[in-house]
Structure 1
């Protein structure tokens, strides 16, 4: 069957803070637009238990903030399609084509805000114990380990925040840090170091996990001495960085060696009318506030591009 073709002013791919902000601005501008999200609206923010660095909220749960953003966009008239899988993309200066199972979309402009996903732990048994003791979302899976000893691998804000969250359930949280320092916010680092349930293993690296059906132990190696030992844990939670979701676009867009989209200060990529916003874009800082900023700029730039294109046609 031939798919129905939908002509649009703007398409936004990805429904995290960047995409939702862009949708708010697009809806306010009365654009003919749609936002496609392959999962739940909110992106990584939805999996954050508590957020304390977003202006206007002393503290707010991630799912609550996500819902507020989505509700605002919806009330303004934004069309948002959850659980919508894209099957193919074709991009050029002259035409943008985005295909799903049901439709072929032809937007005049496109904002890519697909975000990034956690990097998998580089250990031999990662796949074997995936969701059986190897996890990447404490909010999603932490409650499973009530009263257990768990480990967190990583040294940034995400690792620190998730370790603190896990103390709500676990009897003990072991932080496995391959260096002798953390690189998160000072207040968060202090809270972790002073928490009675947290033990920090500086200069140790996770090399594998094992068990019968579920993780029962972790193998670690000292990065200074080479010493190896095993520790009894019921789970390991990995926070060693993220990988951008750019597989659909790599044929057309300029990417860094790490796969992030290269865009200018107006979020413009190497293709006219295609913009990148949020964690998927190459930049120094990846925060909710910087994602919201990107989404704002991308939407305004896209609106300007669409108006100019209509005038010249």
Structure 2
């Protein structure tokens, strides 16, 4: 059974940044690629808000550059995903692809969170060509165009309000007659003149003009009639699901399933296990914040392996 000093689960911006920092610290990290090597950015076309790229960069290219940078410093990559973990004692054991077992002295979990999708025809085929799950990431590309936001919670209201900065109009599509969002968020959306509403309908399929989104087919829940809502962008805002099922209750999670970390550190409820990126961040979900948390996790791991305590007080202001 192979034993490693550090294992990193996931290869999004958080996991790859952690790999870069850990490799540069001569920790020889072993990185498990995950279900979506490169994370959600591999589903994004152009990334314009990652610092250092004045003219933007394609999502898959950015992630490949980060991977090669980690490999340059000695990170080793394993194809597959973690299907089980035993965190009861050190060294921890991680099962990959239900068959290969690895031991590690420290573990960084950066398995991310997957956006919930509608699961209707045309949706997955048009991700990156009009279908999106991130208004902050992709809103700019729909300047002056009609947009639909599917959802009825706070996230949908927030995304719709944000998208009014770019779109010619934003239509909120919801399957019920009433919203789940808080009153404050509802009022903010309803008071925005650029937001329209289509309620009590069920999305049926995403329509295409052959190359990109052209509309959303919906069914009226009362009459059963279908119609197409024209749009050039469809933002799915029905929530995210953190990828923590394989942990089976071994770490402290919040009510949704996100990993809880200690104070400003990346330390979890199990000593020697650290978390970074979207798997512990239900709020920001940006590539740059994920990358920053990956840096923190690698630095915390280095301190831990040196015998230093990593907890709330482990990060203090430098002396002036």
CA contact (8 A) 2:42 2:59 kept: yes
CA distance in 2, matches of 1:15, 1:119: 20
- 1:233 positional shift: 5.8
Aligned in 2, Cα 1:177/1:36: closer, same or farther, shift over 3 Å? Answer: closer
Query: Aligned pair 1:252/2:227, yes or no?
Result: no
1:261 to 246, 250, 259: 259
Query: Deviation of residue 134 (structure 1)?
Result: 3.5
What pairs up with 1:103-252 in 2 under 5 angstroms?
103-121=100-118, 126=119, 129=120, 132-135=121-124, 138-139=127-128, 142=129, 156-157=135-136, 160=139, 164=142, 174-176=148-150, 178=152, 183-184=158-159, 189-193=164-168, 202-205=196-199, 207-210=201-204, 217-219=217-219, 230-232=226-228, 238-252=236-250
Match of 2:175 in 1: none
Deviation digits for residues 150-169 of structure 1, max 9, x if unmatched? 8x6979436746x739x7xx
Q: What are structure 2's unaligned runs of at least 5 residues? A: 171-193, 209-214, 309-320
Deviates more, 1:243-252 or 1:227-236: 227-236
Shift of 1:177: 6.3
1:286 counterpart residue number: 285
Distance 1:60 1:53 in 2: 9
Pairwise CA RMSD: 3.6
Q: 1:187 to 1:87 in 2, by over 3 A?
A: closer
SS in 1 for 2:164: helix
Mapped to 2, the partners of 1:103 and 1:237 lie a distance apart of 38
Q: Distance in 1 between matches of 2:88 and 2:106?
A: 11
String of CA shifts for 1:94-120, please: whole Å, max 9, x gaps.
331002255321100000000011113
Report the Cα distance in structure 2 between the residues aligned to 1:203 and 1:29, rounded to whole angstroms.
53
Quote the offset at 1:50 in angstroms.
1.7
Q: In the alignment, which residue of structure 2 is the partner of 1:8?
A: 4
Secondary structure of the corresponding residue to residue 292 of structure 2: helix
TM-score (norm 2): 0.72
Partner of 1:97: 93
Assess if the C-alpha contact under 8 Å between 1:93 and 1:273 holds in 2: no
Compared with structure 1, are the counterparts of its residues 63 and 245 closer, same or farther at alpha carbon in structure 2 (3 Å cutoff)?
Answer: same
1:256-303 per-residue CA deviation (whole Å, 9 max, x = no partner) reads 111100002211000000001000004532211110111001001111
SS of corresponding position for 1:270: coil
Query: 1:68-96 CA deviation, whole Å, 9 max, x = no partner?
Result: 111111111111123x1333210035331
1:30 maps to: 26
C-alpha displacement of 1:61: 1.4
Aligned to 2:15: 19
> Is contact 1:45–1:62 with CA below 8 Å preserved after alignment?
yes
